[in-house]
Structure formats: C-alpha cells, structure tokens
C-alpha cells in the first residue's frame, strides 16, 4: 500500500511485573523491540472520518467508534483544532488480541499518517502526548524503536545497543484478553532487570535474557495450554537461542542469530499456526 505507515508488532523480550498502583494498574519492566511483521495504516483526504478494514485478520475487528485507529484520529484532530476528516485504511496482518501490541501499533501508525496528511507539523515529539492518552503501549509504538518500558508502559528509556539478530513470531490462533491473564497471575512481584549497555552478539543477548522471564507466561499457559506447545516447537528449531511468550500472549517468539535463520525456522513449523520470521523492524531515522 503506497504511502502507508507501518504498524510493526511489538515484542516483549522479557516482562517483569514489578508492583501495582493504588488504581489497580500493574507496574512493569520490559525490553520492547519491533518484529518482522506489521499492519499498515493509510490516510487519504475525505469529507468525513471513515475506516476501511482489509488484510487477513480484518474479520477480527470492526470499524466501530471505539476502534483505536478512529480514536487516534479524533484525538489528533481535537488537539490541533481541525475537523476529523480522512479516509483511513487499516490492513490487518497481525493477529488480534495476541500480545504484540497490534491495536496500539495501529493507533500510532494512524497518528503518523494523519500528521503527514493534515500537515500538523507535530512530529513524533508533538504526537507523544496524544499517544499517551490512547493507551500505555501507544507511545512506544509511536517511536517504533527498541526501548526499555517501565511504569505501566508509558515510561520509555533507551534500550541497550542491540546486535544483529533474527526474530520468529508464532501465534496458535487463540485470542487472549490481557485483563484475564493479569487476573490469573499468582505470586508476588519481580525486581527490575539489570541490563548491560550493549550486547556483542545474539548469543550473549539470549544468555542474559534467559535469566529473566515473562511473568505473564505461566498464567497465560494456564488459560491457553497450546502456548506451551508453541514454545516447545520454537525451542526445537535449528538455531533457536531463546523462546518466550510476548506480552500477555498468545504470540510467542524465538530469538535467532540472524534474519535468515529465523526465516528458515518459520518454514519448519506445523501448519495452522500464524508465523513470521526475519529481521527486526528497521529503526526509524531520527
């Protein structure tokens, strides 16, 4: 789709639940990167605000007023004092409710696309406050570059310098609601991770990450046992350095030495599961 803004999958390489606020929101510590698969949002002039859905996972969404893409458009229009008029198209290639921030990535892509279409001149810095009002994951998706996420996800710190690596994303086709996973979580809280300033290679990165965890993985497996099958299948693939669930699931990832190894691994998985292997999403230019 020409001129469309990519909305890449957000992958949590680890996710520690470090505490809970008095309002009930959980505090997190996570290293987020962006994977080889992405939705796309295109914006064209229009007399009113409308949203067209296409792509392999479009059936899992509805273009109702509460859709995050439409909410993003209305929020930006209100912020700059102009009518919310545009024809938006969301090409949905990422599974819905799958722990890779698809809705947040779509909202962020809509902000970037409309910023350009409407000529607001806000840029990433000016859009950040609007993004934060749409959801805790939208700011990191707006930047679409590796980041250390803390707070409820809205506190973004620089990520360690990352080496070359490949990512494989796998989803078994089961949607998981994030609140249900948090409700099923048992036990206390996990300390924040200690990360180096840089990793020399993917193997060193995988070794350090293996000492960390995704605190939502055990409750997600309890709710959706096929996640354990997906993780076992990824771990058995040639060249896999680490396998873990992303976010609140059910998407899991495999870390590989390079993009080609991840692409080859994707072809070896059983049929029926969504998968995408390759290089992480290119880091946007500043």
Delineate the domains of the chain, giving CATH numbers in brackets: 5-156 (3.30.230.10), 160-278 (3.30.70.890)
The answer on whether 98 is annotated among ligand-binding residues is: yes
Which run of H or E residues covers position 259?
helix 259-266
Max Cα-Cα span within the chain:
54
Cβ(32)–Cβ(140) below 8 Å:
yes
Cβ(198)–Cβ(189) below 8 Å:
no
The answer on whether 234 is annotated among ligand-binding residues is: no
The C-alpha R_g of the chain, in whole angstroms, comes to: 18
pLDDT of residue 65: 67
Q: What percent of the chain lies above the pLDDT cut of 90? A: 89
pLDDT of residue 248: 95
Q: What is the DSSP letter of 124?
A: H
- 104 band by pLDDT with thresholds 50, 70 and 90: very high
Average pLDDT over residues 223-227: 97
The answer on whether 173 is annotated among ligand-binding residues is: no
> In this predicted model, which residue has the larger pLDDT, 114 or 285?
114
Q: Cα(86)–Cα(58) distance, rounded to whole angstroms?
A: 20
Q: Cα(8)–Cα(11) distance, rounded to whole angstroms?
A: 9
Active site residue 10: yes
Active site residue 29: no
Average pLDDT over residues 228-236: 98
Nearest to 54, CA basis, from 63, 65, 44? 63
First to last CA, the chain: 23
The answer on whether 99 is annotated among ligand-binding residues is: yes
Among candidate residues 29, 106, 137, 215, the one labeled active-site is: 137
Average pLDDT over residues 186-203: 96
Residue 2 has pLDDT above 50, yes or no: no
The answer on whether 146 is annotated among ligand-binding residues is: no
Among candidate residues 10, 29, 106, 215, the one labeled active-site is: 10
Nearest to 217, CA basis, from 228, 206, 209? 228
The answer on whether 95 is annotated among ligand-binding residues is: yes
pLDDT of residue 286: 66
Average pLDDT over residues 162-170: 98
Average pLDDT over residues 1-27: 91
Q: What is the pLDDT of residues 51-72, one digit of tens each?
A: 999 999 998 887 676 789 999 9
pLDDT of residue 60: 84
Which run of H or E residues covers position 1?
none
């Amino acid at each position: 789709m020409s001129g469309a803004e990519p909305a890449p999958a957000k992958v949590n390489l680890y996710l520690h639940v470090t505490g809970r606020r008095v309002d009930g929101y959980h505090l997190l510590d996570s290293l987020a990167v962006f994977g080889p698969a992405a939705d796309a949002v295109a914006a064209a002039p229009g007399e009113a605000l409308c949203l067209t859905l296409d792509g392999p996972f479009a059936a899992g969404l509805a273009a109702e007023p509460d859709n995050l893409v439409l909410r993003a458009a209305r929020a930006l229009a209100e912020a700059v004092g102009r009518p919310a008029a545009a024809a938006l198209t969301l090409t949905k290639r990422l599974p819905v409710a799958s722990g890779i921030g698809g809705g947040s990535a779509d909202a962020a892509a809509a902000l970037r696309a409309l910023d350009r279409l409407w000529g607001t001149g806000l840029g990433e810095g000016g859009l950040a406050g609007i993004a934060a009002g749409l959801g805790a994951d939208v700011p990191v998706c707006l930047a679409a570059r590796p980041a250390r996420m803390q707070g409820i996800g809205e506190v973004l710190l620089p990520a360690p310098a990352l080496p070359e690596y490949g990512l494989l994303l796998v989803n078994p086709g089961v949607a998981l609601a994030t609140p249900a996973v948090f409700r099923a979580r048992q036990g206390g809280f996990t300390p924040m991770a200690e990360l180096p300033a840089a990793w020399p290679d993917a193997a060193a990165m995988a070794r350090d990450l293996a000492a960390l965890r995704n605190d939502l993985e055990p409750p997600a497996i309890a709710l959706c046992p096929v996640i354990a099958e997906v993780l076992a299948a990824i771990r058995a693939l040639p060249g896999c350095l680490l396998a873990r669930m992303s976010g609140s699931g059910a998407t899991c990832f495999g870390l590989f030495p390079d993009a080609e190894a991840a692409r080859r691994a994707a072809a070896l998985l059983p049929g029926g599961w969504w998968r995408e292997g390759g290089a992480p999403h290119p880091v946007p230019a500043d």
